[in-house]
Each structure stands twice: as C-alpha cells, then as structure tokens.
Amino acid sequence: MLAQTVTDNTILEVKNLKTYYPIYGGFLGRAISKVKAVDDVTFSVKKGETFSIVGESGCGKSTTGMSLIQLVTPTSGEILFNGENIFGKDKRKLKKVRRNIQIIFQDPFSSLNPKMTVKKIIAEPLVINRIASGQELEDRVVELLEMVGLGAHHLYRYPHEFSGGQRQRLGIARALALNPEIIICDEPVSALDVSVQSQVLNLMQELQEKLNLTFIFISHDLSVVGHISDHVAVMYLGRIIEMGTREEIYQNPQHPYTKSLMSSIPLPDPKAKFTKKRIVLEGDVPSPENPPTGCHFHPRCPYRTDKCKEVYPEFMKVTPNHSVACHLVESGQLA
Amino acid sequence: MVLDVKNLSVGLGTKDNQKLILNQVNFSVKRGETVAIVGESGCGKSMTALTVMGLLPEPVVSLVSGEILLQGKNLTNLSQKEMNKVRGKDVAMIFQEPMTTLNPSFTIGNQLGEIFKIHSNLNSEEIRKKCIEMLTKVKIPDPEAKLKVYPHQLSGGMRQRVVIAMALACNPKVIIADEPTTALDVTIQAQILDLLVELQTQFNTTVILITHDLGVVAETCQRAIVMYAGQVVEEGSVEELFEHPQHPYTKGLMDSIPRLGDARGKLHVIKGSVPDMDAMPQGCRFNPRCEVATDICRKEAPELEITSDGRRVRCWHKL
C-alpha cells in the first residue's frame, strides 16, 4: 500500500487516517450523516524532504494537515511520528508532540493576532512551553526574525504594519520558534503576489536546508508544488488517488484526474496554447457529503467503465516510486 | 477602436491631500480583441476597470483627469443616470467572486431578467425565454429549472457562468473581466476560460481581462498591458511580451513564476515590495527594486515610449 518503502529515515507515517465530520440535523439535532473529509489516507514522509498534498478545494488536503497535529480530531487511523503513535494522546503529551510539528497557515492576515506585537507573537510558543524568558527570550526572537529576513527593529510593531510577504515571514518565524522537525505548510504562498511568492519560497527552501526541516506542503497550485516538492500526493474527495516522486507525477501522470489537472494549468508561454492539449473535465467536484459510488472520480472521468461505477479501485504500484488508484491503469487500458 | 482610455488619473483622498492611485493611464482596445491588464495587487488594475465602469467609490476615490471614449462617446462626462444606460448594455463587468456578485436573496431568473427589464422593452414571457437562451449559451445544464434557483444552490463554477450570462445578456461592446477565475479551482478555471474565449468569438465582443496570473494571459489574450504602481509600464502583443520583455519589472515577473518541470532551485526574486502610495520613490517608480537602475532612474521619471509597432515601454534602460 505504501508508495515509498519504509526506511530508517522515515519521520512521519500515516496509516489509514480517517477524519469524518458529523452533520447534525433532524428534530433532536443528532448526527444524521457524516462528511468523509479524509477517508483512508496512508502515506509516509522522509526526514528533510518536502511532501506535497495537492488537490482542488474540498478534497480534504487541509483537513489532512490539521488531522496530523490533531487540530481536528481524526476518527481513526495511526499517525506515527518517529515510530510513535501520536493519535489519541492526552493533551499534555500532545503539547510535546506539537513542539515538533508546527504549522504555517494560508492567510497571513488572519493567522496573526492584530493586538499583539511581533515580539509577543513570536515569543508566545516559547513562553507557553517555558523554554525561555527575559533577555534570553528577546535574543531568541531577534534571532528568529533575522532568520526570516526581518530584524530587531520590527520587534515592537503590530501585524498591520507589515506587507503580506513580511507577515508570512512572521508566520514562518513563529513556526520555527520551537525548533520543530516537521512544518505543515497549508497554502503558505497562495495569498501572495508572484514576486513576493518567489521570495517566500526561496526562504523556505533555504531554511529547510539549513535546519534540516521536513515540510508537508499543502497547496492547490501545481506550479508551486512542482517546484518545491520531492514527493507529491494528489487527493480527490478525501482520498489519495495518485502518489509518487515529483518527477513521476509531473512527467508521467497516470490517473485521468492527475492528467487533466496537469493539462489545466495555464502555462506562461504563449506558444504552448498551440501545442498543448487540454483535457477539460466535465462537471464539478461532487459534494463529499454524498460521494459517487465506486471510484469517486467516475462521473467526471472521460474513460469510465462499468467497473468504475461499482468498485473503488485499490492503490497499486506502477513503478516502485509511483502508486495510483485506478481500474483502467491497473488493467492497462489507459496506456 | 472600441475603447480609448486617455490620460486617466484617479486620486484617493480629499482635494488638498490627494494621492494619485492611477497616473496618466493610456490604452486603447480594438473590436473583438482580448487584452490583458496584468500586475500585482495594488498596481491599479482593478481601479482602472472601476473607472471605466463609472463605479469609483466616490468621494473617497475620484477621477482627476482623463477621458474614456467608448466608440467616440466620452463616458466621463455622463451623468449617473446616463451612465446607468451604458452600464450593462455597452460595457459589462464580470467580478472575481461570483458569490458576492450575485444577490443571495433573489433567484437566478430574477437577477438575469432584471438586465432585460432595464435595457429592453420585452414582456415577461419574452424575458423568460431570453434568460433560458442565455443560460443555455453559457452551458448551464437544465436552464429552465435553474431560473428558480438561488445562488447558494449552485457551485462556484456554475455561479461564475451565471455572472458571464448576465454580462453578455445585452451583447455589450466591451466586457471587463476582473480576475474571473481566481476564486475557482484549476479544472473549473479551464472550463470557464474555454467558455469565455468561445463566447467572445461567437458574440465578437471585446474582452479586457484583468489578472495577476501570467499563465492565463498567455493562454487567452492577444495583447497585454503591464501595470506597476498606478502606471502602465509596458504594453505589447503577448508573444513579444513573453519572449522579449523590455521592462525589467515585466522580465522579473516572468522569471519569478515557478515553471512546471523545473528542478528545485532558486527562483528569481524581485527584491523588496510594491511601494506605498504615501512614499512613491522619486524618478522611475520601479527603481528601488530594479537591478539595472542608474542615477537617471532615481532622478527622472521615464515616459511611456513607443518602441515599435504596438509596443510601449516606460524605462530608461530598455532590455
């Protein structure tokens, strides 16, 4: 089932993770149904790499990210961090785990408290975990600010005094405060302009090399993911449908959904429009509340067969570094 | 020329303390053409669109000088009442967020029909038929049933199709699409862009596409206007612009996009960020971020020069 063979430097292993959101309704307001936001997701991440999760809105990529540090409580599954299951731990133990797994959020405007100064924002994780105080604390905050390209003169400013790119740098500094091993980046650059986006991406790569960080990068932007990742998982309606190394996914996509995703990206090259063939999918992403039977993708799939409508395809390996869940690839009908 | 924008300047604030957020913007658009206005947030691209539509949030933002000629008719002289007749009929706009563009408390049929009610003399049965016809044109399945549906019952892509139907309803001469696909997913974006291009050829409308996504520009437009800090800095056909950008900012923008299939490496960076309106740099507005800036750039502002047929650049050191 796993896309990568589990070796010693695996830092995070997720097994059969399920996160269901209940839907309340009816006369007594009981849970009458559930949305399978994350449904049986399995993957593993190696130390020092960037593992990306891509997909369209509503595919469960953010819920997966938040389930990993239990900002939303998963329904079942295992999350092995350095070999130890962290799912279902009590709050105190969870606090220790979260020291090692930090998160950067999408919107740098709403993820920083407007009433707190930069110093307070970045110092907060250090204070909560009782790691530093007094002069030591201030030195550490300045060190962190310098690491992300800001300086000591920013200490007593408020978030509104910064531009979007600078705010995202503050978010990164805060995530780095506790020397985490893994940083979950939930759409860290999608709120930024292109020229600023490249600054932040470069910064993230620099920090990754310097501090040997592991990134779990969640994004809908395939160009950015193609630039930064080592491994890529493509999600559709709560499930991973294709997973592999970046080269495999981008140069040799197998699943019809991945293929159409790749062909839908507008390329910044005016000549490409004559040579590129775009596979435009019909219809919208179905509601995860009521996913289609069989393969979730079959109503939009141009190649669907009867089997696709009934049986969910198993995850299978195409090459050692590349797995896909599709009946047609399995039977070789898409080659 | 369908649309001719001449020396457009727009100011923010009161008369004695006015800051120009658009500074002498000039461009013209031919019939049937798709022109992109590209730039980062705050460069004035959306403000340009609002000015053309006569939708400036006055008195906070107001027109300082300039003319907007729509087939020879100056829109800036029109009264609010006269402008109401032009808006929706001759120029129409598609906004970014289809959820906020549509009124949540009216049905699709009601909102789409309103345009015909205002701009035509059709009776209600004819309006109904027209609405169904428009919804069919934007490829909404089961259009008759959709007339009774409220916006929240539709998906983002479907809503944007309704907005496009509303914009096209009176067969306007110019459609301004302000980031029409930014709020949508890639696969839906592909659908909407295809639809826009198809309808444009069918109706022979002129489209001004405002976007920050250079990929969208390359795929859908013939010409592009690059804006920076309230000014047009470069203009040219999409082919020329992408192959030989002459302004350092345009080149920087092109280089900073991660390209598919690129190996992991350093991305090109335009240092710094867009200048604040209060602190516009002296001389060329791009000089603090420019790699090739010299003394003259810091002292004197360059003019928008015509370099060759249809190409304009605002730079002392053209690349």
Instruction: Name the residue facing B269 among A199, A226, A266 (closest C-beta).
Output: A199
Q: Is A278 on the interface with B (CB under 8 A)?
A: yes
Would you state the CATH architecture of domain A10-115+158-330?
Answer: 3-Layer(aba) Sandwich (3.40)
Closest residue of chain B to A221, computed from CA coordinates: B186
pLDDT of residue A230 exceeding 90, the answer is yes
A273 vs B contacts (CB less than 8 Å): 218-219
Average pLDDT in chain A: 89
The full length of chain A comes to: 335
H helix count then E strand count, chain A: 12, 12
pLDDT of residue B261: 61
Q: How far does A257 lie from chain B, in Å, by closest CA?
A: 9
Mean of pLDDT values over A10-15: 94
pLDDT of residue A279: 82
Q: What is the pLDDT of residues B192-242, one digit of tens each?
A: 999 999 999 998 999 999 998 898 999 999 999 999 999 999 999 999 999
pLDDT of residue A302 exceeding 80, the answer is yes
Give the span between the Cα atoms of B301 and B298, in whole angstroms: 8
The helix (H) or strand (E) run that includes residue B242 is helix B238-243
Query: Burial of B171 by CB count in 10 Å (0-12 exposed, 13-18 middle, 19+ buried)?
Result: exposed
- The verdict on a CB contact (< 8 Å) between A284 and B188 is yes
Q: Smallest Cα–Cα separation from A194: which of B100, B38, B137? A: B38
Q: What is the pLDDT of residues A15-55, one digit of tens each?
A: 999 999 998 888 888 888 888 999 999 999 999 999 999 99
A166 vs B contacts (CB less than 8 Å): 273
Q: Which residue carries 């990306």 as its tokens? A: A52
Residue pair B131/B113 in contact by the 8 Å Cβ criterion: yes
Q: What angle do CA A68, A73, A76 make, to 5 degrees?
A: 85
- The verdict on a CB contact (< 8 Å) between B238 and A281 is no
- The verdict on a CB contact (< 8 Å) between B258 and A201 is yes
Mean of pLDDT values over B239-262: 87
Query: Which residues, in sequence order, are CB contacts of A189 under 8 Å at separation 6+?
Result: A168, A197, A200, A201, A219, A221, A224
Mean of pLDDT values over A216-241: 93
Closest residue of chain B to A219, computed from CA coordinates: B185
- Which amino acid would we find at residue B44? G
pLDDT of residue B307 exceeding 90, the answer is no
The secondary structure of A206-249 as a DSSP string is: HHHHHHT-EEEEEES-HHHHHHH-SEEEEEETTEEEEEEEHHHH
- The verdict on a CB contact (< 8 Å) between A271 and B273 is no
- Scan residues 148-167 of B and list those with Cβ closer than 8 Å to A: 155-158
Q: Is B269 on the interface with A (CB under 8 A)?
A: yes
Give the span between the Cα atoms of A57 and A74, in whole angstroms: 19
pLDDT of residue B259: 76
pLDDT of residue A134 exceeding 60, the answer is yes
Percent of chain A with pLDDT over 90: 56
Q: Is A277 on the interface with B (CB under 8 A)?
A: no
pLDDT of residue A65 exceeding 90, the answer is yes
B188 vs A contacts (CB less than 8 Å): 56, 284
Q: Is A292 on the interface with B (CB under 8 A)?
A: no
Mean of pLDDT values over A271-281: 78
**3-state DSSP call for residue A320?**
coil
A193 vs B contacts (CB less than 8 Å): 40-41, 212, 274
pLDDT of residue A123 exceeding 60, the answer is yes
Mutate to test the interface with A, among B43, B273, B274, B289 (most CBs of A within 10 A): B273
The secondary structure of B84-140 as a DSSP string is: HHHBTTTEEEE-S-HHHHS-TTS-HHHHHHHHHHHH----HHHHHHHHHHHHHHTT-
ipTM for the complex shown = 0.82
CA distances, B92 to each of A314, B98, B143, B221 (Å):
49, 15, 22, 18
pLDDT of residue B206: 94
Q: How far does B52 lie from chain A, in Å, by closest CA?
A: 25
In this prediction, residue A232 has a pLDDT band, given cuts at 50, 70 and 90, of very high
Q: How far does B222 lie from chain A, in Å, by closest CA?
A: 9
pLDDT of residue A2: 47
Closest residue of chain A to B238, computed from CA coordinates: A270
Residue pair A286/A216 in contact by the 8 Å Cβ criterion: no
- The verdict on a CB contact (< 8 Å) between A280 and B194 is yes
- The verdict on a CB contact (< 8 Å) between B187 and A268 is no
Q: How far does B58 lie from chain A, in Å, by closest CA?
A: 25
Closest residue of chain B to A269, computed from CA coordinates: B218
Q: Is B41 on the interface with A (CB under 8 A)?
A: yes
What predicted TM-score, i.e. pTM, was given to this entire model?
0.87
A266 vs B contacts (CB less than 8 Å): 189-190, 193, 213, 215-216, 218-220
Q: Is B16 on the interface with A (CB under 8 A)?
A: no
Mutate to test the interface with B, among A54, A150, A195 (most CBs of B within 10 A): A195
In this prediction, residue B4 has a pLDDT band, given cuts at 50, 70 and 90, of very high
Q: Smallest Cα–Cα separation from A186: which of A262, A113, A102? A: A102
**What sign has the CA pseudo-torsion B243, B249, B255, B260?**
negative
A230 vs B contacts (CB less than 8 Å): 264
Q: What is the pLDDT of residues B24-51, one digit of tens each?
A: 999 999 999 999 999 888 888 889 999 9
How many beta-carbon pairs under 8 angstroms link A with B?
A: 134
Residue pair A218/A62 in contact by the 8 Å Cβ criterion: yes
- Which amino acid would we find at residue A68? L
Residue pair B241/B250 in contact by the 8 Å Cβ criterion: yes
Q: Is A92 on the interface with B (CB under 8 A)?
A: no
Cis check: omega of the bond before B245, within 30 degrees of 0? no
Q: How far does B289 lie from chain A, in Å, by closest CA?
A: 11
